[in-house]
C-alpha cells in the first residue's frame, strides 16, 4: 500500500476585500461632491423639463410684455445666460467624469485582485480534489483485493457438492 499524500491546507494570505465605493466616498472633498451632484442633476430629465419651462416662460414673457422687455427678440440676454451655463457646466461635468474614470480604474484593479485570489483558491481546491481522487482509487483497489481474498477463502472453505 502506498502512503496517501494530501496537500497542505490552503492559507489565505491576502488582504481582505475592500469596497472601493466606500473608500472613495470617504476621500471626496466638498468640491468633488458638488461636481458629482451638479453632473448628476444636469444629466437628468428633470433638469431638461425645468429648463425648457423656464426658457418657454422667458420667451413668452418677453414677447407679450407691454411695458418691460428685459430681453427683447432675438433674446440676446437669454443666449448669454445659456452660454454661461454651458461654459461652467462642461468643466464641472468633465471633473465628475474624470473622477468616475479613476473610480472605474480602482474597481477594475480590485476586481483583478479578487479574481487572482479566487484563482489561487480554485487551484488549491483542485489539487485537494486530485489528492482525494488518488486516495479513493487506492482505497477502491484495496477493497477489491480484500473482496477477492474473501471470495477465494469462501470458495475454499465451502463444502463441495458430490454429484
Q: Is the entire prediction scored with pTM above 0.75? A: no
Residue among 103, 127, 120 nearest 26 (CA): 103
Look up cell 494530501; give the residue.
Answer: 6
Interval 96-147: pLDDT, tens:
999 899 889 989 998 998 998 899 889 999 999 988 898 899 999 999 999 9
DSSP string, 62-94: HHH-SS--SS-TTTHHHHHHHHHHHHHHHHHHH
pLDDT of residue 122: 92
Res 163 pLDDT > 60: no
Give dist(CA 52, CA 20) in Å, integer.
Answer: 37
In this prediction, residue 57 has a pLDDT band, given cuts at 50, 70 and 90, of very high
Query: Ranked by mean pLDDT, which of 37-46, 76-85, 116-125 comes out on top?
Result: 76-85
Amino acid at each position: 500500500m502506498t502512503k496517501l499524500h494530501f496537500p497542505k491546507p490552503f492559507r489565505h494570505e491576502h488582504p481582505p476585500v475592500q469596497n472601493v465605493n466606500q473608500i472613495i466616498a470617504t476621500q471626496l472633498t466638498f468640491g468633488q461632491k458638488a461636481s458629482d451632484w451638479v453632473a448628476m442633476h444636469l444629466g437628468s430629465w428633470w433638469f431638461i423639463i425645468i429648463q425648457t419651462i423656464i426658457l418657454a416662460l422667458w420667451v413668452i414673457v418677453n414677447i407679450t410684455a407691454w411695458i418691460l422687455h428685459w430681453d427683447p427678440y432675438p433674446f440676446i440676454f437669454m443666449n448669454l445666460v445659456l452660454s454661461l451655463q454651458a461654459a461652467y457646466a462642461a468643466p464641472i461635468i468633465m471633473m465628475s467624469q474624470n473622477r468616475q474614470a479613476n473610480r472605474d480604474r480602482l474597481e477594475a484593479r480590485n476586481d483583478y485582485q479578487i479574481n487572482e485570489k479566487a484563482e489561487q483558491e480554485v487551484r488549491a481546491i483542485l489539487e485537494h480534489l486530485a489528492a482525494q481522487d488518488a486516495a479513493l482509487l487506492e482505497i477502491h483497489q484495496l477493497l477489491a483485493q480484500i473482496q477477492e481474498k474473501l471470495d477465494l477463502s469462501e470458495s475454499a472453505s465451502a463444502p463441495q457438492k458430490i454429484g
